[in-house]
Structure 1
């Protein structure tokens, strides 16, 4: 009988957004009950970020121990499959690296995201935007140390990526990386099946960044931040999928290969967070 380990990792430092901590906790509460072991990675909770850029990466000294603890918990259980509930996108680094060690080139990574996550610290100081690049064995040495067996570009398929910046577009073109665009997802998908067949993929790790969803369909996302400046998200691609689209993509992929990894990240339930903060100020409930 296969064993699935569920990891709750409320990491927020990779995106320098403390609200990811609460978002991950609520995500873990909302998720169906686990049928196997559950482990929690220790992440400190704050309301306001106090992180600094440490040699190119914001919050480096907190992120690395969290990644180390993640690997220790995985090694403790040696699972056949993993569910990861985060936190920022970097939470999938160590689990997906482990799965690639276990399943080798028969593993494919389906990256369901509005963004390709292939930056390095030279391009962007927030490490959640570098996770897939690190899985390829490239980037900051403190991060690549967790990748014993780098993934190759032909083992990766994007779903939902759109409106990349110039750096991202050039990288994806140079590596000839495959993308199932929102337009294809809205109609008849064929590229995902073709990728799985051509690459001989038998196992899948699926990364789901909730920002692949359109804010018209789901509001608990970075782009609905209540106090955001008018131009805060200028030039940053926003998701174009619906929840039905995400279910469609994952169902189609899981019919073609066995899913051994499922990571869900970047849940930002702003209204629930504001309500939580209000409740803490009321008589008999909080410190009022």
Structure 2
């Protein structure tokens, strides 16, 4: 199922995230994408913080809508245009309930595995993996269909890690190499008997000199060609049941040309 969910509230002010998601939707020109409505609760500059999470009420309300939608539609697969990374708690937990031992491939410059109390920004897009592990804010647990284990998480392009996140990565033995090694990633997944994958793709995993229309720009990222090669290899070696493209911020469709190969392979 193809889903358009331009959640921006998980990024705090979320500047240009919604318009960036809409540009991806415009680029694809695919009428099969179903939109999940966003909340009308005040957020951003007028948002409130609860449980050390900015814009908590708006995020909770619209993620509840997303969960209800998947509960009703019961898709076998999802492809989501977003939006900020916080939205991932719904489709990942949904597909993990359908495909036990789901491999989660996190293409991202950031670990997104903070507890709310450890986050310096209090923005939820830095917390989804910790939430999915069942170690986040307890009041958000009912948004989950299931929880995942540390062994299911595999990072690609990670290079900006908070101290508390580093501790969690090391404690959980979570796969987070400094450089992409595609054969090693594939063999690691196979050694865990993982057959099904979810591919989370935050465009800030990319090297800014290749693509810089992202919410954050972190040096020494993946080259576009290497990211594409990795995605194609994963899709040929495993059953990819869920994908996302997140946190591109350009409203100009023409500026998506450098990443059209990534968009096309993940959203087709």
TM-score range, shorter chain: 0.7 to 0.9
Deviation at 1:219, TM superposition (A): 1.9
Structure 2 residue 19 is the aligned partner of structure 1 residue 8 = no
The 3-state SS of whatever aligns with 1:193 is: helix
Following the alignment from structure 2 to structure 1, what is the Cα–Cα distance between the partners of residues 173 and 49?
Answer: 32
Following the alignment from structure 1 to structure 2, what is the Cα–Cα distance between the partners of residues 116 and 47?
Answer: 24
Structure 2 residue 52 is the aligned partner of structure 1 residue 53 = no
- What is the CA deviation profile of residues 39-89 of structure 1, one whole-angstrom value per residue up to 9, with x for unaligned ones? 211125899632122231111110011101111211222111000110100
Partner residue of 2:136 out of 127, 134, 139: 139
Structure 2 residue 72 is the aligned partner of structure 1 residue 76 = yes
Partner residue of 2:92 out of 80, 91, 96: 96
Following the alignment from structure 2 to structure 1, what is the Cα–Cα distance between the partners of residues 83 and 21?
Answer: 5
Gaps of 5+ in 1: 225-236, 274-288
CA distance 1:239–1:261, change in 2 (3 Å): farther
Match in the other structure for 1:208: 201
The normalised TM-score by structure 2 is 0.86
Match in the other structure for 1:119: 114
CA distance 1:75–1:51, change in 2 (3 Å): same
Gaps of 5+ in 2: 254-268
CA distance 1:112–1:239, change in 2 (3 Å): farther
CA distance 1:269–1:47, change in 2 (3 Å): farther
Partner residue of 2:248 out of 258, 267, 272: 267
The aligned length equals: 249
Q: CA RMSD in A?
A: 2.2
Higher share of residues assigned helix:
2
Partner residue of 1:38 out of 33, 36, 53: 33
Match in the other structure for 2:211: 218
- What is the CA deviation profile of residues 157-201 of structure 1, one whole-angstrom value per residue up to 9, with x for unaligned ones? 1111114232222211111001243x3x2xx52221112211111
- What is the CA deviation profile of residues 135-176 of structure 1, one whole-angstrom value per residue up to 9, with x for unaligned ones? 111110232222242111111111111142322222111110
The normalised TM-score by structure 1 is 0.80
The 3-state SS of whatever aligns with 1:260 is: strand
Deviation at 1:239, TM superposition (A): 5.7
